[in-house]
Structure 1
Amino acid sequence: MLLAIDAGNTNIVFALFDTGANTRPWGEIRARWRITTDPRRTADEYAVWLSQLLALEGFERGDIGKVIIGTVVPRALHNLQTLARKYFATEPLIAGEGGWDFALDVDEPQNLGADRALNMIAASEMHRGGDLIIIDFGTATTFDLIDYRGAYKGGIIAPGINLSLDALVNAAAQLPRMAISAPTNPSVIGRNTVDQMHIGIYWGYIAMMEGLVARMRQEAGRPVQVVATGGLAILFEKHTDIFDAVEADLTLHGLAILWARSHNDSNDTR
């Protein structure tokens, strides 16, 4: 089995792929676990935590024979590599090490984050046939355009919705902290402070997304599919029609696809 590790700014997600599954060439997710990103967390701490979770799902450390890591937090990489070497007896593949296997038609290709590249690899494999816009709702919300030939053409980085709410609450002493959720009332005229904040954050964010996607579609000049990912994608799905697909595990699938492209697993069923 393959352990795919997606280390983001807020959380690290560990996913266990059954690479012997025949439903997809790169395998199927059998379990996934999430932990807060902390570059100080040691390989031993990861191992204790992960071993317990594997056991709860009916797996053992010995079931894992392959590890791939994608990270946008360089300080977290060393301990994750040590985890793979010490506890899974394997040298992990590091996503993006040595470059990417698609064209980067941008001014600073070296600055493309691993998570965005992995999203594009997965989206291109799972939604073939034209240009794609990938929206990833994470600490930041990113919009990336990849054309029908598979070339990355550029994108947008916007503050994540939680960052936007935190900035509002921290800068205004009289505004309360609130949870972000889909509104039950479709009105955009709030009658109290909390409703007004809710409208501004939620519907304001949808208006921002719809406006940016419309401009990207116009600039692309061709039909474009929009694929959304990230934990907050489902928060917006029912209140906008800009998403053609929602793929909650897009980055993880990108890791598994990258592993499959880099290795011949036909004789290794662990």
Structure 2
Amino acid sequence: MMLLAIEQGNTNTLFAVHDGAEWIAQWRAATEASRTADEYAVWLNQLLAMKGLRFEQLTGCIISSVVPQSIFNLRNLARRYLNLEPLVIGENVDLGIDVRIAKPSEAGADRLVNAIGAKLVYPGDLIVIDSGTATTFDIVAEDGAFEGGLIAPGINLSLQALHEAAAKLPRIAIQRPDKVIGKGTVEAMQSGVFWGYVSLIEGLVGRIKTEWGGPMTVIGTGGVASLFEGATDSIDHFDSDLTIRGLLEIWRRNAHLTD
């Protein structure tokens, strides 16, 4: 087996290759809804070649996307260049997870994939924090069920909003300030956003645990999760492979659909 897993968020798209034993390659591209299958193919072909791989070696493809207008082009990438019919999360694919919310169809594909990836490794009741365009806090019960959660604006959205809404505030990069009290505008913005998000995480994790009424393990994942490593004790584990682990498990459950 040689699986191409594509996980597309609002900001970045991850392409990863699994050889049946381990992940042997991972690449990220900026998410652009208008990018065509041919454009993806040129980019991906060059990256595969750098790893000594070719399109013809890929025997499976699974796609998870929160950008509906991009799915058409990603599907065509698999059909035209890999000669494969991809599995697309949300299209008659058995996720093998009980979704215990009022309208199960509203649960985002990325959140469910994360829940599956988390339960493969971590026991007990879980909180999965995914820091991307949005910051999501998802609850996964001990039996693996998705119990709902919270959605907050992502840290990059906060920076963008500060810059666009306040004429005198510059566009800045995210980084961890040495001190909470900023001595200049840039330092004050960095501190407000960074430590504000640390406080958001700590506060919401505390409230979730109180409402849940029992011990929970907290896992951080997503594009900017590593920023918070060492800055808070509220996150027990940082796991960058959560999503692709979930995609691999879903592929194994549904590979027969592509035969």
Pairing 1:12–2:3 present: no
User: TM-score normalized by structure 2?
Assistant: 0.95
Q: Which runs of 4+ in 1 moved over 4 A?
A: none
Contact 2:155 2:197 in 1 (8 A): yes
Contact 2:95 2:250 in 1 (8 A): no
Partner residue in 2 for 1:41: 35
Q: 1:226 aligns with which of 218, 224, 245?
A: 218
Q: How many residues align?
A: 255
User: TM-score normalized by structure 1?
Assistant: 0.91
CA displacement, residues 84-142 of structure 1 (integer Å, 9 cap, x when unaligned): 111111110111322532111111211111111100000011112x1000000110000
Q: 2:110 aligns with which of 106, 115, 131?
A: 115
User: Could you tell me which amino acid in structure 1 is paired with residue 165 of structure 2?
Assistant: A
Shift of 1:11: 1.6
Shift of 1:210: 0.2
Partner residue in 2 for 1:25: none
Contact 2:15 2:28 in 1 (8 A): yes
* SS of residue in 1 equivalent to 2:217: strand
Shift of 1:162: 0.4
Shift of 1:178: 1.2
**Shift in CA distance, 188/39, structure 1 to aligned 2, threshold 3 Å:** closer
Contact 2:117 2:249 in 1 (8 A): yes
Partner residue in 2 for 1:74: 68
Distance 1:230 1:239 in 2: 16
Q: Percent identity?
A: 51
Distance 2:189 2:140 in 1: 34
Distance 1:96 1:254 in 2: 14
Shift of 1:249: 2.2
Partner residue in 2 for 1:105: 100
CA displacement, residues 8-33 of structure 1 (integer Å, 9 cap, x when unaligned): 111211100111x1xxxxxx211111
* SS of residue in 2 equivalent to 1:142: strand
Contact 2:127 2:217 in 1 (8 A): yes
Tell which has more relative contact order, 1 or 2 (C-alpha 8 A, sep 6+): 1
Distance 1:58 1:218 in 2: 51
Partner residue in 2 for 1:146: 140
Instruction: For 1:1-270, list aligned pairs within 5 A.
Output: 1-19=2-20, 21=21, 28-98=22-92, 100-128=95-123, 130-183=124-177, 185=178, 187-263=179-255
Shift of 1:242: 1.2
* SS of residue in 2 equivalent to 1:198: helix
Distance 1:232 1:41 in 2: 24
Question: CA-atom RMSD, angstroms?
Answer: 1.4
Structure 2 residue runs without a partner (length 5+): none
